[in-house]
A and B are shown apart, each in its own frame.
Chain A
Amino acid sequence: MSSGTDKDVEAKDTGEEKTTGTKPESMSKDEAKKFYEEKGLDLSPDVPVKPKPIPEFEKSLADKISSKFGDKAHVDYVRSDRIRVTAKREDIVSVAKFIRDELKYDHAESVSGVDYPDSKEIEVIYHLGSYTDEKLGRQIFALATRVPREDVPNPGSDMSRTPSLRDIFYSVEFHERECFEMFGVYFEGHPDMRRLLLPEDWADIPPFRKDFKIKGR
């Protein structure tokens, strides 16, 4: 589950903050525990935190990235079979080229977007895998980048754009088209940036954005 990464530590921290926020300051820890037990509140977290050792093979791959790119590519986490790296959108093409040529990942499994309206950003995540390298069969490499988000989207004409990875990983072609229509992120350099799944007369904002509310909810 958690392997002592930044994200997990954050999650733990925020959880504690919430509980301490409501606790009267004069109480000690045991008193507070009693106070909550009397009220019938369960304080145990839903997700049991079990630290796991960081696997070596994945760590060596992540180290290659960080030694080559330094600050440009930030390693978010290293878990068993999963690595996640965030790069700025100016650097994503060079990072992706390195991943393909040096680390031998050869295809993209999916391209997902995640909308973060609070920080005014849309995250685009490429999940990369390998068919040719025997050792990488289990591995999934998540390469993420952040794109600025506009409150009033105008897909294709606003600043939500990022370079396309289609020349590097050919298999992202349809995935990027889907991401374009669902989030309004324009992929520069993609030869065929058209609508894929939505109806031809779709005139609303891209539906997977968080400010697009579905009916009755």
Chain B
Amino acid sequence: MLKELVSPENSPHATNVLVGKLGDILVRAVGKPFDYAINWGRIYSLWPVHLETACCSVEFGAASSPRYDVERFGIIEAFGSLRQCDLIVVMGTITRKMAPRLRMVYDQMPDPKYVIAMGACAITGGLYFDSYNVLPGIDGVLPVDVYVPGCPPRPETLIQGCMLLQEKIKRTKAK
């Protein structure tokens, strides 16, 4: 099965995938060249905001460690000023005290901006579903692009979430 997938002469399936992908790129590059060029420039230099909100920040830190190295995929370490950032990774639980600050941070970021909800707490409230001070997910505060499940998500999961976001950016209409 695996062998068939790897060698294109044995299986027409792999060739189809390859042709499909190339065709996809070609259609977008020729059909909407400006959109394609702008999105291409965006996807490989995503700057996340350095806003730690709860314990998932440990795994976010681990994702930029030498073993996982999220920088390979064009997500730069969380550093630098808010005004140059275009990605906010919500790392875990949002409490009632943090929610207004989170929105304030989001409003200060320039467009276009993307949101990744990391961890069960940021998605639904997770383990703290019955706590009096925790929001049941951040959907009411921010428009979320990608949900990364886990409690906490492993760095691999976070990297996959980032790649999904890049895929999403590729297909959006550039403003």
- With A199-B97, A199-B133 known, 16 other A-B pairs at CB within 8 A are A198-B133, A199-B95, A199-B96, A200-B97, A201-B96, A204-B132, A207-B132, A207-B133, A212-B132, A214-B130, A214-B131, A214-B132, A215-B130, A215-B132, A216-B130, A217-B130
The chain A residues found within 8 Å of chain B, CB to CB, are 198-201, 204, 207, 212, 214-217
With a CB–CB cut-off of 8 A, which chain B residues contact A216?
129-130
How distant is B75 from chain A, measured CB to nearest CB, in Å? 32
**Residue ID in chain A nearest B131 by CB atoms:** A214
Q: Number of residues in B with C-beta < 8 Å to the partner?
A: 8
Once bound together, how far apart are the Cα atoms of A217 and B132, in whole Å? Answer: 11
With a CB–CB cut-off of 8 A, which chain A residues contact B130?
214-217
Once bound together, how far apart are the Cα atoms of A204 and B132, in whole Å? Answer: 11
With a CB–CB cut-off of 8 A, which chain B residues contact A200?
97
- Count of chain A to chain B residue pairs whose CB atoms are closer than 8 Å in the complex: 20
Q: Which 7 A-B pairs have the closest CB atoms?
A: A199-B97, A199-B96, A216-B130, A214-B132, A214-B130, A207-B132, A215-B130
With a CB–CB cut-off of 8 A, which chain B residues contact A212?
132
How distant is A211 from chain B, measured CB to nearest CB, in Å? 13
Once bound together, how far apart are the Cα atoms of A191 and B131, in whole Å? Answer: 31
Q: Do residues B97 and A198 form an inter-chain contact, with CB atoms below 8 A?
A: yes
Once bound together, how far apart are the Cα atoms of A212 and B133, in whole Å? Answer: 13
Once bound together, how far apart are the Cα atoms of A28 and B104, in whole Å? Answer: 73
Once bound together, how far apart are the Cα atoms of A216 and B133, in whole Å? Answer: 14
How distant is A216 from chain B, measured CB to nearest CB, in Å? 5
With a CB–CB cut-off of 8 A, which chain A residues contact B95?
199
**Residue ID in chain B nearest A216 by CB atoms:** B130
